[in-house]
Amino acid sequence: MTSRDGFSWTPQEGLKPGVPSLGVIQPPTNITSTAKYDLIVVGAGYCGLTATRDATLAGLNVLLLEARDRIGGRSWSSNIGGYPFEMGGTWVHWHQPHVWREISRYGLSTALESSFDFSRGVNHFRLNSATSSTTRSHDDEDKLLASGLEKFVNVDGAHGRNIMPQPHDIFHNEQSRVFDSMSAQDRLDQIANDLTPDERTTVEAFVLLCSGGTLSNMSFLEFLHWWALCGFTYQGCLDMLITYKFRQGQSSFARHFFQEASKTGRLSYSFSTPLASIENSSTGVSVTTRAGATFTASRIICTVPLNVLGTIRFDPPLAKGKQEAIGIGHVNQCVKVHAEIKNKDMRSWSGITHPHNKLVYAIGDGTTPSGNTHIVCFGAAQNHIQAEEDIEQTINAVEALAPEMRDIQRLVFHNWAKDEFAKGAWFFSPPRLLADHLDDMRARHGNVLFANSDWAVGWRSFIDGAIEEGTRAAAEVVSELLNEPGVARPNL
């Protein structure tokens, strides 16, 4: 099935909206009744899918409402010619506890493959800076990035270990709060004399890859949080952030959650169903869709991302702190472009082109069934590109990454910045948002619970964080509806 989301381009067919995906669900709805539900889950990303599955397995009757025509939210894959192109969140690792629990649950531990293959081909890293272009080994690439990043994070003489001893509670040490007042630019200014020109270029490119924002609008603390979760090393970042992915794509993983919930017989769902409003009362909640349909339940788990929450009307209005957080939003406007090129030797290539190119960071990420090399490329907000609006500019940006980057056979991408149900890619906070509003973002609103990777305490903004949040919210609802005296119990 083909989703409305995403774009593809080939020299033969030009630009086409919509790409095929295993995440598209048919039929698009199975609703047969307007009866009151125990729980309404808004959003079918990993957070909503986890909450839906856990609640249905516990015996609750659940209605899942999703604005898109597919599951996965900001983590989904296309499937073009039998090859998965990851449109959003991609990489997983066994050090992400919630993800690995689910991978083990569904027997998928052997379903992963590495993005990297340095066994053949050019087998080098290319650095295009403002002043030079050099080619070096991947070992030298790692040494360069490790050296620069260690200087960047070494705020305590221990590469961040002392100020963030417990990454799942970033303010366990109050000294960490000061770093949420700093941007990446502030930190780079502090250590400007300690970095070589090449270290500066690669550090900037790496942190922009992580944030999808600008050096000035991204929180330095949030990068320290990523660093801590990755074991306080560059190798840990490489292993956990950009190495292991599902051989059949993220959407193949997400389908397991949806199918398990469906098999309980307690799941009703409707896709292509964006919400207009959520009304909260002492006896329950009701939602009204943009099309005018109304559904009621005892509880709602709202998994809508921070940057989109402001498009839904809440009655009564949300608390001041949550409204302030929504008004600030997160900064990630990352561009992710997949390029399929004829040069087979580029499978072992990686490169940084910064600060003068629209695409900053790229790696050889696979081999398509036709034998072509798949390159995945990233651009950040400070060099933003609207790929579908200027495909020639996008082609030029891909070709500028390396002299060998020619004979582009296909481009595939999703414009997260203009996606009305995302308004940005994965969460990355601006300065002060976490220190001032993390608790506000996590707070419930009467019978409405808010769950999203945007405010997870662990792998925030990752698939793992989404599963963490869905698990938390479902457990809270199940406990209330099944165990608390005075609360109506569902029919089991």
- Residues 55 and 33: their CA atoms lie apart, in Å, by 19
Same domain, 123 and 156: yes
Same domain, 273 and 371: no
Q: Is residue 60 part of a domain?
A: yes
Q: Is residue 380 part of a domain?
A: yes
Q: Give the Cα-Cα-Cα angle 138, 139, 142 (nearest 5 degrees).
A: 85
Same domain, 162 and 311: no
Q: Is residue 312 part of a domain?
A: yes
Phi then psi for 224, rounded to 5 degrees?
-60, -35
**Is residue 66 a known part of a binding site?**
yes
What pLDDT does 484 receive?
Answer: 56
Three-class HEC string of the chain: CEEEEEEEEECCCEEEEEEECCCECCCCECCCCCCCEEEEEECCEHHHHHHHHHHHHCCCCEEEECCCCECECCCCEEEECCEEEECCCCCCCCCCHHHHHHHHHCCCCCCEEECCCCCCCCCEEEEECCCCEEEECHHHHHHHHHHHHHHHHCCCCCCCCCCCCCCCCCCCCHHHHHHHHCEHHHHHHHCHHHCCHHHHHHHHHHHHHHHCCCCCCCEHHHHHHHHHHCCCCHHHHHHHHHCEEECCCHHHHHHHHHHHHHHCCCEEEECCCCEEEEEEECCEEEEEECCCCEEEEEEEEECCCHHHHCCCEEECCCCHHHHHHHHHCCCCCCEEEEEEECCHHHHHEEEEECCCCCCCEEEEEEECCCCCEEEEEEECHHHCCCCCCCHHHHHHHHHCCCCCCCCEEEEEECCCCCCCCCCCCCCCCCCCHHHHHHHHHHCCECCEEECCHHHCCCCCCCHHHHHHHHHHHHHHHHHHHHHCCCCCCCCC
Final residue in a domain of this structure, among 415, 446, 472: 415
Same domain, 127 and 230: yes
For residue 50, with 0-12 CB atoms within 10 Å meaning exposed, 13-18 middle and 19 or more buried, which class applies?
Answer: buried
Final residue in a domain of this structure, among 365, 384, 415: 415
- Residues 450 and 470: their CA atoms lie apart, in Å, by 9
Two tokens, residue 100: 């690995």
Name the nearest CA neighbour of 234 among 209, 217, 212: 209
Same domain, 360 and 459: no
Same domain, 125 and 204: yes
- Residues 383 and 27: their CA atoms lie apart, in Å, by 40
Name the nearest CA neighbour of 125 among 351, 395, 379: 351
Two tokens, residue 360: 């900053």
Contacts of 193 (CB under 8 A, 6+ apart): none
Same domain, 136 and 239: yes
CA pseudo-torsion sign 209, 213, 214, 217: negative
What pLDDT does 116 receive?
Answer: 97
Final residue in a domain of this structure, among 415, 446, 469: 415
- pLDDT in 10s for each residue of the chain, 492 residues: 999 999 999 999 999 999 999 999 999 999 988 789 999 999 999 999 999 999 999 999 999 999 999 999 999 999 999 999 999 999 999 999 999 999 999 999 999 999 999 999 999 999 999 999 999 999 999 999 999 999 999 999 999 999 999 999 999 999 999 999 999 999 999 999 999 999 999 999 999 999 999 999 999 999 999 999 999 999 999 999 999 999 999 999 999 999 999 999 999 999 999 999 999 998 899 999 999 999 999 999 999 999 999 999 999 999 999 999 999 999 999 999 999 999 999 999 999 999 999 999 999 999 999 999 999 999 987 667 888 999 999 999 999 999 999 999 999 999 999 999 999 999 999 999 999 999 999 999 999 999 999 999 999 999 999 999 999 999 999 999 997 554 445 444
Same domain, 192 and 270: no
Q: Is residue 102 part of a domain?
A: no
What pLDDT does 3 receive?
Answer: 97
Same domain, 347 and 290: no
CATH number of the domain where residue 394 is located: 3.90.660.10
Q: Give the Cα-Cα-Cα angle 60, 64, 68 (nearest 5 degrees).
A: 165
Residue-number span of the structural domain to which 240 is assigned: 114-244+335-415
Q: Is residue 101 part of a domain?
A: no
Q: Is residue 94 part of a domain?
A: no
Name the nearest CA neighbour of 416 among 86, 92, 91, 52: 86
Q: Is residue 83 part of a domain?
A: no
Same domain, 237 and 128: yes
Half-sphere exposure of 311 (CA within 13 A, CB side): 16
Same domain, 373 and 318: no
CATH number of the domain where residue 308 is located: 3.50.50.60
**Is residue 67 a known part of a binding site?**
yes
Q: How many domains does the chain have?
A: 2
What pLDDT does 487 receive?
Answer: 45
Same domain, 178 and 292: no
Q: Is residue 392 part of a domain?
A: yes
- Residues 385 and 16: their CA atoms lie apart, in Å, by 18
Contacts of 221 (CB under 8 A, 6+ apart): 170, 176, 177, 179, 180, 182, 429, 431, 434, 435
Q: Give the Cα-Cα-Cα angle 420, 61, 51 (nearest 5 degrees).
A: 50
